[in-house]
Amino acid sequence: MRVLTTMAALSALLAIAACKPGTPDAGGGRTCSTSVPRPRITEQDNGKTICMGRKAPLTVTLHGSAGDPWQAVSASGPVLTETGRPAVSGAVTTAAYQSNRAGSGTVSAHRKSGRFEITVIVRD
């Protein structure tokens, strides 16, 4: 019985550790808010650090309002390549990128009522 209890506790600890998104990146010591293979980002992710692998798509969809839409979605740094022009449909702005090399960069946008920015860490 002790062996089963010990094994169950060890399994639970390993499962928790494997799912923990707060792992530092390889180079800059930042902590990932989210680590996913194909990130789909919204304004709810503002301020987060997103970790992903190379050659993966990243989609940013920002919901504004008719009087206050998101403007100028852009990526800085060498890790993301835009795969198409940002699209605006009503009050929704969408931009698509692909990660092309390891490192970090940012994706940002602005509107009258505020600013959006995430940090993207691409791992090999």
Cα–Cα dist 114/124, whole Å: 33
Q: Which residues, 6+ apart, have CB-to-CB distance to 104 below 8 Å?
A: 25, 27, 28, 30, 77, 79, 119, 120, 121, 122
Cα–Cα dist 98/66, whole Å: 29
The encoded tokens of residue 68 equal 């206050």
- Per-residue pLDDT of 47-84, as tens digits, reads 999 999 999 999 999 999 999 999 879 999 999 999 98
Predicted local distance difference test score (pLDDT) of residue 77: 93
Q: Which domains does the chain carry?
A: 22-123 (2.60.40.2020)
Question: How would you class 97 by CB atoms within 10 Å of its CB: exposed for 0-12, middle for 13-18, buried for 19 or more?
Answer: buried
Predicted TM-score (pTM) of the model is: 0.73
Q: Is the pLDDT of residue 120 over 90?
A: yes
Q: Is the pLDDT of residue 21 over 80?
A: no
Angle, CA of 100, 88 and 42, to the nearest 5°:
60
Mean pLDDT of the chain: 81
Q: Is the pLDDT of residue 34 over 90?
A: no
